[in-house]
């Protein structure tokens, strides 16, 4: 009986769901691995990196609802930028450059929001 009482706090913690810290750590660890060694000046590497980051951000491993909402928004922004870069290629027009900058701004904003969620206590 004593061992069951000792395990009770552990089981209750598990029922509480994923902490923000745990969710953010998963994102940080996997996103860094996803872009490690890629050349951001190479379009193919950038597309691969952004797609990989989008996959990490939208992963089912992220179950904390607050982090999940911010991560999915950032993941959608990363995927939109990757899809655009894949379509446009290495020589975008001036109009496409403007659109790319808008997509990049959306990504930066959504990543900043995710960072705010992860850093909030």
Closest to 110 measured CA to CA, from 62, 82, 71: 71
Separation CA 112–CA 93 (nearest Å): 28
pLDDT at 31 (0 to 100): 87
Per-position DSSP letters for 36-100, written without gaps between them:
TT--TTSHHHHHHHHHHHHHHHT-TT---HHHHHHHHHHHHHHHHHHHHHHHHTTS--HHHHHHH
pLDDT at 120 (0 to 100): 87
Residue 9 lies inside a defined structural domain of this protein: no
DSSP code of residue 121? -
Residue 7 lies inside a defined structural domain of this protein: no
pLDDT band of residue 34 (cuts 50, 70, 90) is confident
**Mean pLDDT on 13-34:** 84
pLDDT at 29 (0 to 100): 92
The mean predicted confidence, pLDDT, of the chain is 86
Residue 3 lies inside a defined structural domain of this protein: no
Domain that holds residue 46: 20-119
Asked if 80 contacts 40 with a C-beta cutoff of 8 angstroms, the reply is no
pLDDT tens by residue, 67-78: 999 999 999 999
Separation CA 120–CA 113 (nearest Å): 11
pLDDT band of residue 9 (cuts 50, 70, 90) is very low
pLDDT tens by residue, 83-121: 999 998 778 899 999 999 999 999 999 999 999 999 987
Residue 12 lies inside a defined structural domain of this protein: no
Residue 82 lies inside a defined structural domain of this protein: yes
Where residue 97 sits, what CATH number does that domain have? 1.20.120
Residue 1 lies inside a defined structural domain of this protein: no
pLDDT(32) > 60: yes
Residue 2 lies inside a defined structural domain of this protein: no
Strand, helix or coil for residue 13: helix
Supply angle C-alpha 80, 81, 83, rounded to 5.
65
Residue 62 lies inside a defined structural domain of this protein: yes
* Rounded (10°) angle between helices 20-35 and 43-57: 160
pLDDT(26) > 90: yes
How many domains are contained in the chain?
A: 1
């Amino acid at each position: 009986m004593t061992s069951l009482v000792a395990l009770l706090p552990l089981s209750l913690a598990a029922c509480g769901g994923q902490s923000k810290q745990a969710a953010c750590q998963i994102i940080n660890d996997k996103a860094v691995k996803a872009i490690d060694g890629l050349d951001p000046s190479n379009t193919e590497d950038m597309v691969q990196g952004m797609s990989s980051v989008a996959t990490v951000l939208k992963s089912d491993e992220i179950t904390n609802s607050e982090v999940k909402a911010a991560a999915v928004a950032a993941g959608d922004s990363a995927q939109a930028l990757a899809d655009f870069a894949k379509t446009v290629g290495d020589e975008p027009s001036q109009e496409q450059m403007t659109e790319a900058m808008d997509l990049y701004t959306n990504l930066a904003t959504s990543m900043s929001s995710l960072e705010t969620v992860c850093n909030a206590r």
